[in-house]
Structure 1
C-alpha cells in the first residue's frame, strides 16, 4: 500500500519459533527455502522506496497495517 511518493507498507513473512519470532522475509519462497519446516505469520513494514529498505527508526515488522501506519506516523513524518 502506497503511503506517499516515498513510503509504502509491505507485507512480510515472519518466522515463528518456540513462542517467539525469528527473521522477517519479503519473499515467501526465500522463507520456505531457508526454513522449510517453520511456522510463520504475516507482518507489515514501512518501506522507504527511495533508499530501498525499512528505516532504522521503524519496527522490523508490525502485526497489522494499522500498526504499520502508526509506525510511519511516529518515525517517518
Structure 2
C-alpha cells in the first residue's frame, strides 16, 4: 500500500509558508500575497527547485522530522 503521507506537504524538502514564499519570490505581494487562497498549500521544493502542488509526490520524498499539525 502506498503511504498517503508521502506527499510534498509532508516532505522535508518542501517549504510553503507565506513568509518564505514572499521572500523567495520578490513581488509576490503584488499578486495578493503568499497567503492567497488560490495558492492553497502549494510551495517550493528545495530539492528539485520547483514550485509544486502540496499533494504531489516524487522519488525525492523524505519524511519531514515533524508531522504537520
TM-score by length of 2: 0.35
